[in-house]
């Protein structure tokens, strides 16, 4: 390696970055046999799926009208994935963060070339190459298409990879911060909703087709727009040329080439800015204590302080935020699917109480090593009750409004306004049961949560049994505890009796069960502190 007084030449930088990517891959696979197996199996499975997809695209060509439209839509999805995934998986790919190289004496040009070549290494680009080839085969016709594909396929792949790295470099400061992790959580939820929406849309378009003939005409208006958007245009150019439209084919290739030039300039500019601009987090002056006037409505004493701490964690801590928004997202996905598929009911609101009530699970494992500060202040059974009561109030403060809003939406969609009061009462009762069981399981069966940069990892290895006990045991327990309320609702619906009393009985029953659960958990909390501490600080 050159010393700090000299700048390495371009070839040395390019070779070094490529070697660094290979070394990162090798060292990553050496961490554990399980990681190696997952990487190899995942890569092979991805290649197999991509190969069969490409084969299917090739089989469609010439057999069905509009077969080339399927390749265009496939490239549209692939482009969206390459553009969006860096925003969600930035922290999990060490080679995607250019800020790690800011202290090295590197020029933007060699750094750009080396990063581009390094980004082409791995299963992702190889799988994309197979898919792009399959998309080209879906509409290729004759030797002229083959000639255009020699240019179009690598051009499309380069555009995809460059787009991904340019997006990552342009947002590197934000993505490496806490806000970037928050964005990844929101983005992952939005991506899951988008996948479900695409699934529902595809079922509505192709689900009613029967027989041997496949009608691809619904894709025609979508493909008519996408085929002119680079880099999709580069993969569609062979089809255009094969149909004899040489000028339009050249125009599509030129559009993709222009996009590649613009992306490279953006990427180079972002790299240059990162190399010469100080990180704002290292020079920002503390802004002082934030205004806490909004917390004056919380209860006095330890209960209010615990409630405030829990709400701050839910807003700032990536793992807590991931758990919260995953619960809300699962509820929304199921509700949207039920509305689209025609089996929606206002009583699906009970899922909100189930999923959000389980936010009380593993309370102290979520604290991690900071639990010792909580443990040091737990001296009496009253302190233990206030600790658990404050966390329960925090969960109620956002779970009840979410349940009410979602209930109004479901009632408006289904038209069952008469069932809304009983549905809200049922959801609150289930929520109280979840809080009770969550408190008990948090004390009796805590588990370790890894303190790494991935907010979606919710447990350390080797604790599958505890996780199953918490997740499935609590869900079954909630269903059992909520049987009196659910039984009354079933009787009322079956015998055409009144359901509105559940609006009063549900909160009363849920509050009673939650109070008993908190008292039972608090009675064991003080004696269980050493065991909880061992799980909380274990990494």
Mean pLDDT of 26-35: 70
- Position 509 confidence tier, pLDDT thresholds 50, 70, 90: very high
Regarding whether 517 and 480 lie in a shared domain, the answer is yes
Alpha helices for 107-228 (secondary structure H): 108-119, 123-137, 142-170, 172-175, 178-206, 220-226
Question: What 3-state DSSP class applies to 148?
Answer: helix
CB 373 within 8 A of CB 309: no
Regarding whether 135 and 269 lie in a shared domain, the answer is yes
Q: Which residue has the higher pLDDT, 7 or 355?
A: 355
CB 227 within 8 A of CB 252: yes
CB 479 within 8 A of CB 472: no
Answer whether residue 320 is part of any domain: yes
Q: Which residue has the higher pLDDT, 337 or 443?
A: 443
Regarding whether 311 and 246 lie in a shared domain, the answer is no
Answer whether residue 361 is part of any domain: yes
Residue 356 has pLDDT above 50, yes or no: yes
Regarding whether 397 and 510 lie in a shared domain, the answer is yes
What is the domain count for the chain? 2
CB 315 within 8 A of CB 321: yes
Answer whether residue 408 is part of any domain: yes
Regarding whether 496 and 425 lie in a shared domain, the answer is yes
Rounded Cα–Cα distance for residues 132 and 505 (Å)? 59
CB 266 within 8 A of CB 166: yes
Alpha helices for 207-317 (secondary structure H): 220-226, 232-242, 246-276, 280-283, 301-316
Regarding whether 165 and 269 lie in a shared domain, the answer is yes
pLDDT (0 to 100) of residue 290: 43
Residue 426 has pLDDT above 50, yes or no: yes
pLDDT (0 to 100) of residue 12: 79
Rounded Cα–Cα distance for residues 149 and 144 (Å)? 9
Sign of the dihedral defined by the CA atoms of residues 476, 361, 450, 458, in that order: positive
Q: Is 407 exposed, middle or buried (0-12, 13-18, 19+ CB in 10 A)?
A: buried
Whether pTM exceeds 0.75: no
Rounded Cα–Cα distance for residues 472 and 409 (Å)? 28
Average pLDDT, the chain: 78
Phi, psi of 496 (to 5 degrees): 60, 35
Regarding whether 313 and 267 lie in a shared domain, the answer is no
Gap between the terminal Cα atoms of the chain:
36
Q: Residue 97 corresponds to which tokens in the numbers above?
A: 């963060």
Helix axes 108-119, 142-170, angle to 10 degrees: 120
Regarding whether 239 and 350 lie in a shared domain, the answer is no
The domain of 392 spans 298-537
- Position 102 confidence tier, pLDDT thresholds 50, 70, 90: low
Mean pLDDT of 183-193: 59
Answer whether residue 79 is part of any domain: yes
Regarding whether 390 and 261 lie in a shared domain, the answer is no
Q: Is 302 exposed, middle or buried (0-12, 13-18, 19+ CB in 10 A)?
A: middle
Answer whether residue 224 is part of any domain: yes
Mean pLDDT of 310-328: 75
CB 428 within 8 A of CB 508: no
Q: Residue 384 corresponds to which tokens in the numbers above?
A: 């233990």
Regarding whether 487 and 353 lie in a shared domain, the answer is yes
Task: Kindly report which listed range (135-139, 201-205, 229-233, 339-343) carries the lowest average pLDDT score.
Answer: 201-205
Q: What's the residue count for the chain?
A: 539
């Amino acid at each position: 390696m050159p010393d700090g007084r000299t700048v390495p030449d371009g070839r040395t930088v390019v070779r070094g970055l490529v070697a660094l990517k290979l070394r990162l891959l090798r060292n990553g696979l050496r961490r554990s046999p399980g990681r190696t197996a997952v990487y190899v199996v995942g890569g092979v499975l991805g290649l197999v799926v991509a190969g069969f997809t490409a084969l299917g695209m090739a089989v469609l060509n010439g057999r069905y009208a509009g077969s080339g439209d399927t390749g265009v839509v496939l490239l549209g999805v692939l482009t969206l994935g390459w553009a969006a995934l860096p925003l969600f998986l930035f922290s999990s790919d060490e080679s995607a963060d250019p800020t790690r190289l800011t202290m090295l004496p590197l020029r933007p040009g060699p750094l750009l070339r080396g990063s581009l070549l390094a980004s082409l290494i791995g299963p992702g680009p190889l799988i994309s190459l197979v898919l792009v080839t399959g998309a080209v085969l879906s509409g290729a016709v004759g030797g002229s298409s083959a000639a255009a594909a020699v240019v179009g396929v690598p051009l499309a792949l380069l555009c995809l990879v460059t787009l991904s790295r340019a997006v990552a470099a342009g947002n590197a400061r934000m993505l490496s911060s806490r806000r970037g992790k928050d964005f990844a959580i929101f983005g992952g939820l939005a991506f899951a909703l988008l996948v479900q929406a695409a699934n529902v849309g595809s079922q509505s378009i192709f689900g009613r087709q029967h027989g041997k003939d496949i009608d691809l005409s619904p894709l025609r208006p979508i493909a008519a727009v996408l085929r002119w958007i680079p880099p999709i245009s580069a993969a569609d150019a062979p089809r255009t040329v094969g149909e004899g439209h040489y000028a339009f084919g050249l125009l599509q290739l030129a559009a993709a080439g222009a996009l590649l030039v613009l992306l490279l300039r953006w990427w180079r500019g972002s790299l240059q800015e990162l190399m010469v601009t100080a990180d704002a987090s290292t020079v920002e002056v503390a802004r002082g204590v934030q205004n806490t006037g909004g917390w004056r409505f919380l209860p006095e004493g330890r209960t209010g302080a615990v409630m405030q701490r829990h709400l701050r964690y839910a807003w700032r801590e990536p793992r807590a935020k991931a758990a919260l928004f995953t619960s809300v997202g699962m509820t929304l996905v199921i509700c949207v699917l039920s509305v689209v598929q025609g089996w929606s009911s206002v009583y699906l609101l009970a899922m909100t109480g189930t999923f959000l009530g389980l936010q009380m699970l593993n309370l102290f494992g979520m604290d991690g090593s900071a639990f010792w500060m909580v443990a040091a202040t737990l001296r009496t059974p009253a302190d233990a009750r206030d600790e658990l009561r404050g966390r329960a109030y925090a969960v109620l403060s956002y779970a009840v409004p979410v349940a009410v809003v979602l209930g109004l939406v479901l009632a408006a969609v289904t038209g069952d306004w008469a069932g809304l009061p009983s549905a809200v009462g049922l959801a609150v009762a289930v929520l109280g049961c979840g809080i009770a069981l969550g408190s008990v399981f948090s004390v009796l069966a805590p588990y370790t949560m890894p303190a790494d940069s991935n907010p979606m990892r919710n447990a350390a290895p080797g604790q599958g049994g505890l996780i199953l006990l918490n997740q499935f045991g609590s869900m079954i327990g909630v269903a059992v505890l909520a049987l009196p309320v659910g039984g009354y609702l079933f009787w009322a619906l079956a015998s055409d009796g009144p359901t509105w009393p559940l609006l009063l009985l549900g909160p009363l029953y849920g509050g009673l069960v939650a109070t008993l659960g908190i008292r039972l958990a608090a009675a064991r909390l003080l004696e269980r502190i050493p065991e909880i501490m061992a799980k909380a600080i274990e990494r």
